[in-house]
Structure formats: structure tokens, C-alpha cells
Amino acid sequence: MMQLFAKTGLDNTTVVLLGDFLVKGPESVRVADYILEHKDQVKCLLGNHDLAVMFAFLNPSVGKFPWYGKRHHMKPLEFTLSNEVFYPRDMSKLKRMHWQVARELGPERINSLAQHCSAAMHFDLGTKKLYAVHAGILPGDFEEKMPSVQTLSEMRYVDRGNWDKNSKDKVNKHYMRWYKLWKGSKLPEKLSTTYVLYGHDAAKGLNMRGHTLGLDTGCVKGGELSGLEFKRKDGGDVITQLHQVRCNGARRMALKAIEQARRGGQGRIRQMSLHL
């Protein structure tokens, strides 16, 4: 991350991290500290792994006793502006590393991240309107309806006949990649200058498709860390430039660090609410 920032320069720049800034590498605490020390400049979106860490922090007993994972026993994450309570859709996706990182971060950092980070962000650049999310949004979201945090943080597929149904994995042949709904020829005129920035889908890699810009290029598996720079020229036009740095060995380092950290102590628990 710091190599990418050094490559691009950060003068007069707002940085937006597209989620999964926790767990996906060996330095979760240092990344969190950097975000919190540069709040005015660094914005952050909550990915499914970030939410898993926060949920694990509130529910440490689920990690020790999987049979305890009944909703009525658990404390949800609360998104105050949407009045939404959040539980992970699939509890089996909560891994030991989520509880480990939660203990390493501790209550003060986790609470500060919960207050600072969002599930989605919107930027109006004049000639372009940008939505930044972790997983994806559908045409009309935020204008016609409020998408759920589950959708914003986990969606990869949507039922082509019923957009209210979406999932992380392909359920059946009726499910399609959500970004295919953003083809320019299918969009209403009011969305012609709207673009969606997202991460989450490392299997697809760099996925620039007109109105949807997928930037997860698998850093943790030895791929690249990618950033897309939007810069306004004097005439008002907005130009974009892709920046990338290699991440060889990141996954091996991450697994080694997590294994070593498993001997750490337990953290304290307290209730928190999140802001959308």
C-alpha cells in the first residue's frame, strides 16, 4: 500500500480504500493505524472481511464454540443511517483469522474504524458521478432504493429476473454477474455519466467495463495492488490513470504472520454501531 502511495503521490489527493483492508495481509494493525492517523485524507469502505472482523469482535464466543452461532445469541453490527442490523450471510465464512485480527486491533481501533468507514461513498466530479463500494451496486440503487449492506459488501451475482435476489456465489443458471446490468445500451439516460468502483472480485482481476471498474487484482495471492486516479484538468474534464505495484509473496507472509499471532491473548468486547 505504501509503495502504491509513493508511486502516485498523495498531494491534494483523497484516497478511497475499496474494502478488505483487514485480514488480506500480515499488517492489518498498521493499515488500520494509517487510516486512523490520516482520517482527513484516507476514506475507507467496509468489505466483507472487515465486517467479519468487527462481527467477530462483538461475538468472540462464536469462534470458540461454533454451536453457539445462533442469531438470538449474537450481537449484530448496526448501521445507524439505514437502521440496518447486519449478520454475516454465511457463518461458516467466519474464520479464526477474523477473531485473531479483532483481538490484535482491540476495542479502540475497531470502534474508530466503525465510525470512520462506510458501506458506500458517492463523488460528484461534474462530468462523472462515482459510486465507490466493496462488492457492487445495481442500476437505480441509492436513487430508487437503498441497497442492503449485505449487497454492498458481498454481491457478485444477481438473479436476472429478480434483482432483489443476489449472492456471492452463482446459485443457478438464472444468476448473472451484477456488472453486466451496467451495459451502456441498457442504462437510462440519467445513469449515462455514472460509474461504479469496486473490489471484492479478485477472480476476475482488473475488470474495466465502461461503467463498472473492478480493481481487485489479487495482491494477497501475489498479484498486484491497483489504484485508479481521477484528476480534474483545468478545463473541467476528468482524466483517469491506473497505477499498480506487484505484491509477490504477500499471501505467504500473511499466513505466516497469522500463524504466529494465534498465540496472542483475548480482547475485550463492547457494543458499537456503524455509520453508512
- What HEC string does 207-273 produce? EECCCEEECCCCHHHCCEEEEEEEEECCCCCEEEEEEEEECCCHHHHHHHHHHHHCCCCCCCCCCCC
The model's pTM: 0.87
pLDDT of 122 over the 80 cut: yes
The whole-number pLDDT of residue 48 equals: 96
**Domain ranges within the chain, ordered by starting residue:** 2-261
Please give the pLDDT value at position 225: 95
pLDDT higher than threshold 60 for residue 265: no
Q: How far is CA 67 from CA 49, 215, 271, in A?
A: 21, 37, 22
Distance separating alpha carbons of residues 107 and 23, to the nearest angstrom: 17
Q: Is the pLDDT of residue 61 over 60?
A: yes
Confidence of residue 35 (pLDDT cuts 50, 70, 90): very high
CB 248 within 8 A of CB 86: no
pLDDT of 87 over the 80 cut = yes
Point out which residues pair with 162 in neighbouring strands.
159
Q: Comparing 35-39, 78-82, 123-127, which segment has the lowest mean pLDDT? A: 78-82
Is pLDDT at 53 greater than 70 in this prediction? yes
- Greater pLDDT, 211 or 90: 211
- Asked whether the predicted pLDDT for residue 195 surpasses 50, the reply is yes
CATH topology of domain 2-261: Purple Acid Phosphatase; chain A, domain 2 (3.60.21)
Q: Band of the pLDDT at 84, cuts 50, 70, 90?
A: confident
Please say if the pLDDT value at position 187 is more than 50. yes
Cell of 242: 491506473
The residue-averaged pLDDT of 122-133 equals 92
The pLDDT score that the predictor gives to residue 199 is: 97
Percent over 90 (pLDDT), the chain: 64
| Residue 117 backbone dihedrals phi, psi, to 5 degrees | -85, 160
Asked if the model's pLDDT at residue 161 lies above 90, the reply is yes
- Residue 96's closest CA among 259, 249, 270, 254? 259
Place of cell 509513493: 6
Q: What percent of the chain has pLDDT over 70?
A: 86
Mean pLDDT for the chain overall = 87
Reported as a pLDDT band with limits 50, 70 and 90, residue 254 is low
